[in-house]
Structure formats: C-alpha cells, structure tokens
Amino acid sequence: MAPVRAEDLERLRDALAEHDVEYLFLGQMAAILQGYPDTTQDADLFVEKTTENGERLTRALRALGFAIGEVEEADIRQGKDFIQLRSGPFDVDLVYAPDGIERYEDARRRGREIDGFRVCSMQDVIESKVRSNRDKDRESLPRLRDFARYLEREPRSDLRLLPPKRSR
C-alpha cells in the first residue's frame, strides 16, 4: 500500500465539494494537511451522519472511481461507525464515530480549512489518537503534540476557521 498522493487528495477534495459532502479530514491526514511532516497510507474522513450526506458521498466516491457495492452503499447511507474503502484509486477510511469526538457539529466548529481542505483541529486529531489507544498512535502522540504547540506559536495565515455550514 503506497502513501496517498497529493493529486489523489486534490481529486477527493474537489469531488466532495462538487457533491456538497459535509466532511472533515481526520487523523494523520488532517495533521499532514496542516503542515505536519509525515505520510499516511489512507485518507481518513469524519463524515456528517445523515442519509442525504451519505448519498452525496456515495456519488462523489463513485465519480472518483470507487467501486461501491450495495452493502457498502447501505453502510455509507446509514453512517456505520467505520468503513474501509479499498476498492478505488487510493484507500479511504470513512469514520462516522471517531474515538474522542462526540459530535460532528462540534468538530466542524473547531475545524479549519486550508486550500479548500476541511480538516479537524489538531486538538481533535490528538484526542482521537489518545482515545483510540493504538500502539502506532501512542508512538506518534509526542510529535503531534509538539506540532500542535508549534502551530499555536506560529499560526499559518492560510489555515482558517471553516465557514458556516450551507443550508441545503
């Protein structure tokens, strides 16, 4: 499994925007998009859990070339807690119930946008990794915390709060 490429992320971002999907990048990818120096094998998306959003997400993923079967489509529309997609041009994990984050609306309010990418706050990235308690997450936490402190001291001018949600 190769790391997710920048052009894959741009295509994903654009497809999600085109289909009006409500989402945030989560995990290592959210940190990387904010400037954290690392790579990851997949893109984790924290997705708002509504049937309509799931339908829009399914259309966006199919437009990118993901083979979404009936079972996966139902899981996406229903907002199953965790869905791994390995049937497309790159790997995507859909997360509807991330560890350490109670509600999508709260994460979105704390989220940021950079170059059109909607990302969870570093605090949410860190809290999710703390709560998941996986070996690889525990190992990366000191560096992620250092990076979050760096962003507090040296804020990026291109990292902005997310605009208000559009009504549909």
Domain 6-155: which CATH class? alpha beta
Name the average pLDDT for the chain.
Answer: 93
Alpha-helix runs per DSSP H in 3-156: 6-18, 27-33, 51-64, 70-78, 104-110, 122-132, 135-153
Q: Report the DSSP pairing between strands 23-26 and 43-47.
A: antiparallel
Q: Report the DSSP pairing between strands 92-95 and 43-47.
A: parallel
Give the pTM.
0.92
- What pLDDT score does 54 carry? 97
Average pLDDT over residues 85-95: 94
Spell out the domain ranges in the chain: 6-155
